[in-house]
Amino acid sequence: MRSLSGGFPISSNRSGTGGKDPVHLPGDPRPPVLGGPLRGHPPVRPDRITASHPLLVETLRTEGYHAEVSSVGETDIAIAGGYAPEQLLYSGPGKSASGLQSALAAGVRTFSVESVTDRDRLDALAERVGAKCRHLVRLNGPAGSAGGSLRMAGRPTAFGVDTTETEALSSLLTRRKHTRPVGLHTYFATNVGDEDGLIAEFQRAVHAASAVCHDAGFTPEPLDLGGGFPAPQAVPGEIVRHPRLAGAIENALDRNLAGWRARGMEVAFESGRYLVAAAGTLVTEVLDVKRSHGRLFSVLDAGVNALGGMSGLGRLVSPGTRPYHLESSRRAAEPETVDAPAVTLVGPLCTPLDVLNRLVDMGEIRVGDLLAVPNVGAYGLTASLLGFLSHPLPVEVVHTGGTVESVRRLTLNETRL
Ligand SMILES: Cc1ncc(COP(=O)(O)O)c(C=O)c1O
């Protein structure tokens, strides 16, 4: 197995020296997302990869993971990472006609549908290109826990079909000319804090899916139970194992969907950030250190344009990013000041929303220091405000065990229409 030890290091304005300080990451080989296999069942390979670099995607593919995509761009990345289009599951609540057309033209044939409108649009477009598609029906089950950093089910959301909407479900579980229902899909929340929380969520998901199956007389071939597996994000730490999870899910399946093993029902999970969070480090340079109204600020060359972009919109709390000093960037001759004050880390954008940490103890921080933000492999740059204020994007360096495999810089292109 190839060791994956770097995702997208390096600061906004330099070019390709990030491999200099390779960061050896924990969690390799990747631990099984459920803590173990489901007994008496073929190995379950979780899907939904949130790696945004084709080389990371390729590594996961060679390890046997499936892939779920939810945009034209993710489809392209998955195909660039070596997936055959017919292996992909295409999902998402807002599938546009042009997005579906591109996916169909690329050869994608399995979709998760989120409403009757969504399924009918797919059916009509599939007819146009003479394609036969399979679909999973995404469910929004009854109220779940309050856990997870973002909830997609168990409350009013744009995701899936409420399990109480029997008319819509009966339509979605009926074959159309070009689309055939083959399974169910649910995704409750991201980043659920602990194993007990995950167990409760999966039990509820199995229960909700089985109730729909019983009511509609439907037998799923694949049952995609979603994810929510937590991982550290932009702070030090390792992913947590879940040794009781596989057994608990197995019991829930046995209790609610008798015969699932004998039928060979495929059980899928969306492991998301769990697989790739550790495969990324952002290296950023300290451009300025200054005091403002009594507070110490450090201005970095990467902010919400490169990391944690949604917080920059003011809709999420600003990230508690905790970088560490890359030792090689310190000038050994200069003595450290003891009792350095805590500092506010901000990015280079002209907005007070560009904050990576409101107050963090960094020890002494000096202009020219290089800071490394660990555990930013999940989503990479794609979760950032890349276009905002038109700064150059960070250079992405992929390295395995310190050997540089690829250096690239994404750009926004203008297409005249
Ligand atoms: C349907 C679906 N699958 C998978 C994921 C990946 O989740 P995460 O990376 O938080 O584990 C998400 C995240 O929003 C999602 O909406």
Does ligand 1 come within 6 angstroms of the Cβ of 272? yes
**pLDDT value, residue 105:** 98
Q: Which domain holds residue 67?
A: 29-276
Residue 414 lies in a domain: no
- Cβ atoms of residues 377 and 7 within 8 Å: yes
Does ligand 1 come within 6 angstroms of the Cβ of 91? yes
Do 217 and 296 fall within a single domain?
no
**pLDDT value, residue 131:** 98
**pLDDT value, residue 398:** 87
Do 266 and 395 fall within a single domain?
no
Residue 192 lies in a domain: yes
> From the CA of 190, how far away is ligand 1's center (Å)?
6
Does ligand 1 come within 6 angstroms of the Cβ of 50? yes
| Domain C-terminal end among 217, 242, 276 | 276
**pLDDT value, residue 383:** 85
| Domain C-terminal end among 276, 311, 342 | 276
Take residue 415 and report the two structure tokens written for it.
């297409």
User: Pairing state of beta strands 266-270 and 222-227?
Assistant: parallel
What letters, b where the CB count within 10 A reaches 16 and e where it falls short, cover 154-180? Answer: beeeebbbebebeebbebbbeebebbe
Q: Which of 83, 23, 52 is nearest to 272 (CA)?
A: 52
Do 214 and 298 fall within a single domain?
no
Residues in the chain: 417
- Cβ atoms of residues 138 and 187 within 8 Å: yes
Do 272 and 306 fall within a single domain?
no
Give the separation between CA 96 and CA 20, rounded to whole angstroms. Answer: 43
Q: Which residues pair with 10 in a beta bridge?
A: none
3-state DSSP assignment of residue 387: coil
| Domain C-terminal end among 257, 276, 295 | 276
Mean confidence (pLDDT) of the chain: 85
Do 44 and 74 fall within a single domain?
yes
Q: Which of 149, 317, 145 is nearest to 230 (CA)?
A: 149
3-state DSSP assignment of residue 393: coil
pTM for the predicted model, two decimal places? 0.87
Residue 124 lies in a domain: yes
Which stretches of the chain score pLDDT less than 50?
1-27
**pLDDT value, residue 399:** 85
- Cβ atoms of residues 280 and 8 within 8 Å: yes
**pLDDT value, residue 53:** 85
**pLDDT value, residue 325:** 94
Does ligand 1 come within 6 angstroms of the Cβ of 270? yes
Do 299 and 272 fall within a single domain?
no
φ, ψ for residue 112 (rounded to 5)?
Answer: -100, 120
What CATH number does residue 330 fall under?
Answer: 2.40.37.10
Query: DSSP string covering 277-335, please?
Result: TTS--EEEEEEEEEEETTEEEEEES-STTTS-HHHHTTSSPPP----EE-GGGS-TTSP
The half-sphere exposure of 92 on its side-chain side, counting CA atoms within 13 A, is: 16
Do 192 and 300 fall within a single domain?
no
> From the CA of 369, how far away is ligand 1's center (Å)?
34
Question: Which residues in 141-194 belong to E strands, given as ranges?
Answer: 150-151, 161-162, 179-186, 189-190
**pLDDT value, residue 401:** 74
- Substitution candidate for ligand 1 out of 33, 34, 50, 192 with most atoms within 8 A of CB: 50
Count up the domains in the chain and report the number: 2
> From the CA of 234, how far away is ligand 1's center (Å)?
17
3-state DSSP assignment of residue 1: coil
What CATH number does residue 244 fall under?
Answer: 3.20.20.10
Take residue 29 and report the two structure tokens written for it.
């080989």
Do 160 and 178 fall within a single domain?
yes
Residue 15 lies in a domain: no
Residue range 203-234, pLDDT digits in tens? 999 999 999 999 999 999 999 999 899 999 89
Residue range 331-341, pLDDT digits in tens? 555 556 667 89
Residue 24 lies in a domain: no
Ligand 1 atom 10: residue of nearest CA: 190
Sequence-ordered list of residues with C-beta below 8 angstroms from that of 190, at least 6 positions apart, any chain: 148, 149, 150, 152, 227, 228, 272, 273
Do 171 and 270 fall within a single domain?
yes
Task: State the closest ligand 1 atom to the C-alpha of 191, by its place in the atom list counted from 1.
Answer: 10
- Cβ atoms of residues 275 and 30 within 8 Å: yes
**pLDDT value, residue 2:** 26
Task: State the closest ligand 1 atom to the C-alpha of 228, by its place in the atom list counted from 1.
Answer: 11
> From the CA of 237, how far away is ligand 1's center (Å)?
20
Q: Which of 377, 369, 230 is nearest to 299 (CA)?
A: 369
**pLDDT value, residue 404:** 87
Ligand 1 atom 2: residue of nearest CA: 187
* Longest alpha-carbon distance in the chain: 75
Query: DSSP string covering 257-272, please?
Result: STTHHHHT-EEEEE-T
Do 205 and 93 fall within a single domain?
yes
> From the CA of 220, how far away is ligand 1's center (Å)?
22
Do 342 and 220 fall within a single domain?
no
> From the CA of 229, how far away is ligand 1's center (Å)?
9
Do 379 and 295 fall within a single domain?
yes
